[in-house]
Structure 1
Amino acid sequence: MDRAFSDEVASDQWRRDAQTWVAEQIDEAQVLAVEQVRIRPWSTQLRIETDAGRYWFKALPPGAAYEAGLHAVLAELAPDDVTRPRVVDAQRGWILAADLGPTWRETRPATTADWQTLMVGVAGLQQRLALHEEAILATGLPDCRPARTVDLYDRFVTLFAELDADHPCHVDEGLRAALVEARPAVVEASVRLVGSALPVTLQHGDLHTDNVFASAAGLRLFDFGDAQWAHALEVLAVPRGVIDDDPAVEWEPVLASYAGAWDLTPDELAGDLSAAWLTQSVHRCLTWWRALSSATAQEWRQWGEAPLHHLTRVSARD
């Protein structure tokens, strides 16, 4: 792709190509209307209305194209836990799925009990997927296991220090010194998680109730664009942030339910959890860096501080 992803997918030619592909995949239905509902540097979505119902098409830039193949693999490995796309083109990073109705968050506000149910299910999914490392990593999913975290941290500190001063991720000498000073904590956290009783497995990366469908058949996860192969506990970072902002939900029972799914208590997880908060900061920096890899200059101005924000979280942890 010679130009920014958002410029490419806004072109008439790209839209014609995408709509032709969609029509070929659902040739039993007549396409009635197509609307491009969102363009971001990390994805775009088309809503397709047909005489047989609604479909959704998602396209990813090269830096995130792995999501298409990953979603297909996860649907095979965990059909009771993950939505099943109609079809994917892993090479192009294209996903076509039938509309499944409102997400869980669109249905009703999540309660503490809802979050407990979700996190117990996620723990079970992680336990099963930990056995399929080779197949999952073969999709191109970012490998963020703890043994790789320190090297990733060092590379980002060096890279950001070498960026032009006007780049939103530029690290000046003072900030670089602070990041170097924080490095031993990253090393300590990584070493602890390498020896953890919990495995490296799929980390959804953006786990909240708007990325879950709930039905009588159970819960189904989707949207794996932020996923990584990382320590299991890193999956708790986003739920913790969402729950902390929701006065109607209590975090402690949710954590206890998740820990119990591993036959552990929150106290037994405490040390590993503190380490995972820190390593997740480094890995979240990678998520954002990859998400912006095909961004325009304007998109860098809008979102470009995110990678550095997450990297610098390593020195803000208690």
Structure 2
Amino acid sequence: MDRAFSDEVASDQWRREAETWVAEHLDGTPILSVEQVRIRPWSTQLRIESVSGRYWLKALPPGAAYEAGLHAVLAELVPDDVSRPVAVEAERGWILDADHGPTWREERPATTADWCTLMSGVAGLQQRLVAHEDAIVATGLPDCRPARTVDLFDRFVTLFAELDPDHPCHVDAGTRAELVEARPAVVDASVRLVGSALPVTLQHGDLHTDNVFDSPTGLRLFDFGDAQWAHALEVLAVPRGVIDDDPSVEWDPVLAAYAGAWDLTPAEIAGDLAAAWLTQSVHRCLTWWRALSSATAKEWRAWGEAPVHHLTRVSARDTGDGAP
């Protein structure tokens, strides 16, 4: 792709190709309308209305195209836990899926009990996927196992320091010094998680109730664009942030439900969890860097501080409760 993803998917040629592909995979079902509801540097979505119902096409830039193949593999490995796409073209990063109705958040505000159900189910999903590492990583899913974290951290510190001072991800000498000072903590966290009793597995990366829908057979996840192959506990970072912003939900029972699904207690995972907050900071930096890899200059100005924001979380003071 010679031009920015947002420019590419806004073109008439791209729309014609996408709509032709959709029509081919709807087996002649008459299409009533197609609307491009959103363009971002990391994805675009087309809403397709047909005589048989609503469908969605999600298209991804090269840096995130792995999501298409990943979703297809997950639909085969754990069909009861994720939505099953109508069609996938992994090379292009295209996913065609039927509309599954409202997300869980659209249906109702999530309670503490809802979050407990979700997180215990996610732990079960992670357990089932541990044995499928080769098939999952082969999709191009970012490999963020703890043994690779320090090298990734070092590469980002060097890269951001060497960027042009006008680049949104440039770090000055003072910030670089703070990151270098925090490096031993990243090393310790990585070493601890390498030896953890909990495994490396699928980490959804953006787990909240707007990426879940409640089907007749149970909860199903979708939107794996931020997913990684990482330590299991990193999946708790986004839920913790969401729950901290919701005074109606208590975090401690949710953590207990997740830990209990592993036959552990919150106390038994406390040290690993504190380490996972650190490693997740580095890996979240990678997520944003890849998401912006095909961005326009305007999009870099809008979102370009995000990679550095997450990387510098490693040098933030510990809150005392293991929170990120």
* TM bucket normalised to smaller: over 0.9
Tell me the distance in 1 between the aligned counterparts of 2:89 and 2:43. 14
Match of 1:79, SS state, is coil
Give 2:159's aligned residue. 159
- 5 Å matches for 1:271-290? 271-290=271-290
Tell me the distance in 1 between the aligned counterparts of 2:39 and 2:28. 28
Q: Cα distance, 1:76 vs. partner?
A: 0.5
Tell me the distance in 2 between the aligned counterparts of 1:317 and 1:151. 22
Q: Is 1:174–2:191 an aligned residue pair? A: no
Counterpart code for 1:77: L
Give 1:25's aligned residue. 25
Q: Cα distance, 1:137 vs. partner?
A: 0.3
Q: Deviations over 1:234-268 (max 9, x none)?
A: 00000000000000000000000000000000000
TM-score, with structure 1 as normaliser: 0.99
Give 1:183's aligned residue. 183
Q: Is 1:129–2:139 an aligned residue pair? A: no
Give 2:65's aligned residue. 65
RMSD of aligned residue pairs (Cα, Å): 0.5
Match of 1:33, SS state, is strand
Match of 1:80, SS state, is coil
Match of 1:171, SS state, is coil
Tell me the distance in 2 between the aligned counterparts of 1:121 and 1:317. 32
Give 1:193's aligned residue. 193
Q: Cα distance, 1:19 vs. partner?
A: 0.3
Give 2:304's aligned residue. 304
Tell me the distance in 2 between the aligned counterparts of 1:29 and 1:317. 57
> Any runs of at least 4 consecutive aligned residues in structure 1 with deviations exceeding 4 A, and if so which?
none
Give 1:243's aligned residue. 243
- Shifted more, 273-282 versus 214-223: the winner is 214-223
Conservation of the 8 A alpha-carbon contact between 1:278 and 1:317: no
Q: Is 1:76–2:76 an aligned residue pair? A: yes
Tell me the distance in 1 between the aligned counterparts of 2:75 and 2:253. 29
Match of 2:197, SS state, is coil
Q: Cα distance, 1:54 vs. partner?
A: 0.5
Q: Deviations over 1:205-234 (max 9, x none)?
A: 000000001133100000000000000000
Tell me the distance in 1 between the aligned counterparts of 2:216 and 2:7. 41
The alignment covers a number of residue pairs equal to 318
Tell me the distance in 2 between the aligned counterparts of 1:92 and 1:214. 29
Counterpart code for 1:160: F
Match of 1:3, SS state, is coil
Identity between Structure 1 and Structure 2 (%): 86
Match of 1:45, SS state, is strand
Give 1:264's aligned residue. 264
Give 1:90's aligned residue. 90
Match of 1:85, SS state, is coil
Give 1:46's aligned residue. 46
- Shifted more, 180-189 versus 168-177: the winner is 168-177
Match of 1:181, SS state, is helix
Q: Cα distance, 1:154 vs. partner?
A: 0.1
Counterpart code for 2:117: T
Give 1:293's aligned residue. 293
Q: Deviations over 1:23-49 (max 9, x none)?
A: 000023101100000000000000000
Q: Is 1:207–2:210 an aligned residue pair? A: no
Measured at CA, do residues 317 and 263 of structure 1 come closer, stay the same or move farther in structure 2, by a change above 3 Å? farther
Q: Deviations over 1:153-210 (max 9, x none)?
A: 0000000000000111101111111100000000000000000000000000000000
Counterpart code for 2:196: S
Tell me the distance in 2 between the aligned counterparts of 1:212 and 1:177. 40
Match of 1:39, SS state, is strand
Structure 2: gaps (5+ residues): 319-324
Q: Cα distance, 1:294 vs. partner?
A: 0.1
Q: Is 1:120–2:112 an aligned residue pair? A: no
Q: Deviations over 1:30-72 (max 9, x none)?
A: 0110000000000000000001100000000000000000000
Tell me the distance in 1 between the aligned counterparts of 2:127 and 2:155. 30
Q: Cα distance, 1:152 vs. partner?
A: 0.1
Tell me the distance in 2 between the aligned counterparts of 1:216 and 1:249. 25
Q: Cα distance, 1:5 vs. partner?
A: 0.0
Match of 1:264, SS state, is coil
Conservation of the 8 A alpha-carbon contact between 1:145 and 1:200: yes
Conservation of the 8 A alpha-carbon contact between 1:211 and 1:221: yes
Counterpart code for 1:99: D
Q: Cα distance, 1:317 vs. partner?
A: 4.2
